[in-house]
Structure 1
């Protein structure tokens, strides 16, 4: 068993952020490049579009408000679509019909984290949204996704009908904003070093090794 102190990595991101989708894959690739470093990886909430109501809005209305028009976003999206493809990910912007408020998604990730399935829940929701154009405002879609990664469907449905952990998730997202995090994904290492953007896996792996060595050297003093 490793005697090294695990390196805590908090990934601040949102389910509907395409660069977060790519960033998740890249941090996983980075961990694979540093398999000897023990890591505790946790996904933290961020609201990319806090103004979107809980029931969501039509995708066209959202794109018009944020980018000027759906056509304008289509021009901008080609870069991120290509970047996703280079990581073996699928992003089909034309399939998305509804823009969700993501607090319920973050609640699911939080609940899944309790059984060690936070990353799997995050991945499933992102696949539904970016690859399949799934409606993340649809309770049935969320419940099905939760069941697929091992949560109890009836329990999840009942909890989604309440405000369970809404304040907790909102508080964590607000805390990230108060700490100056405005762009996501942001990777926070050992709760004190932050790197923003979907960075190259080799650079992330280098940071993981360097900071792990630092915290373990400090622990040995």
Structure 2
């Protein structure tokens, strides 16, 4: 991949701004005449969530309080309208632990289906209210993204890449990632947050020229 412009996207499946950021990146890339390679990197917004997940309403209530919770999703809904990001907060009942989802995203890289896998997981959680901490749900999503669902289901019941995924999550913290999505352009420049397509286009174009890959 040395001859391709690389964007590393550090994100978490249960980060609603990461879903918006992914759609905005899609729009930016559609406007650019470049060969771009996207790598999805894991991050956990809350690594203390138990493997079985938590009741979402109670989790959000504990985190933000009843008053703030009434309007907390409004900015996302408004921002999502520009690219038809189909948030359905009313369907979500669980806040899952995303370690297994990140393992699945990691494996999808080996069959060059990583971006498709990320999109499927975002849709499953944010638009369909599915529990993406459930291994059966993850395997089904893998199948829908063009990956062998049975093989994924079997792998999820093993310890395959658990420590490697945790190490990569820790690496994100070690290099200074404190919020997601974070877009790392050509391993040299970082943009934090769900930036607009125009900002992404400008940044990608400028960094590509600087590194001589435009």
**Pairwise TM-score range, normalised by the shorter structure:** over 0.9
Distance in 1 of aligned mates of 2:45 and 2:163? 17
- The size of the alignment, in residue pairs, is 212
Q: 1:165 aligns with which of 139, 161, 167?
A: 161
Does residue 40 of structure 1 match 2:43?
A: no
Does residue 56 of structure 1 match 2:53?
A: yes
Q: Where do residues 50-89 of structure 1 align in structure 2 (5 Å cutoff)?
A: 50-69=47-66, 72-89=68-85
Distance in 2 of aligned mates of 1:139 and 1:108? 10
2:23 equivalent in structure 1 = 25
* 2:8–2:38 contact (8 Å) kept in structure 1: yes
Give the TM-score taking structure 1 as reference length.
Answer: 0.92
Question: Where does structure 2 lack aligned partners over 5 or more consecutive residues?
Answer: none
Runs of 4+ off more than 3 Å: none
Structure 1 residue 189 displacement after superposition: 0.8
Give the TM-score taking structure 2 as reference length.
Answer: 0.94
Whichever of the two has the greater Rg, that structure is 1
Question: Where does structure 1 lack aligned partners over 5 or more consecutive residues?
Answer: none
Distance in 1 of aligned mates of 2:180 and 2:190? 11
Structure 1 residue 26 displacement after superposition: 0.7
CA deviation digits over 1:20-51, x for unaligned, max 9? 0000011111111112x221111100001111
1:101 equivalent in structure 2 = 97
Relative to structure 1, the CA distance from residue 211 to residue 62 in structure 2 (aligned partners, 3 Å threshold; closer, same or farther) is same
Structure 1 residue 180 displacement after superposition: 1.1
* 2:100–2:135 contact (8 Å) kept in structure 1: no
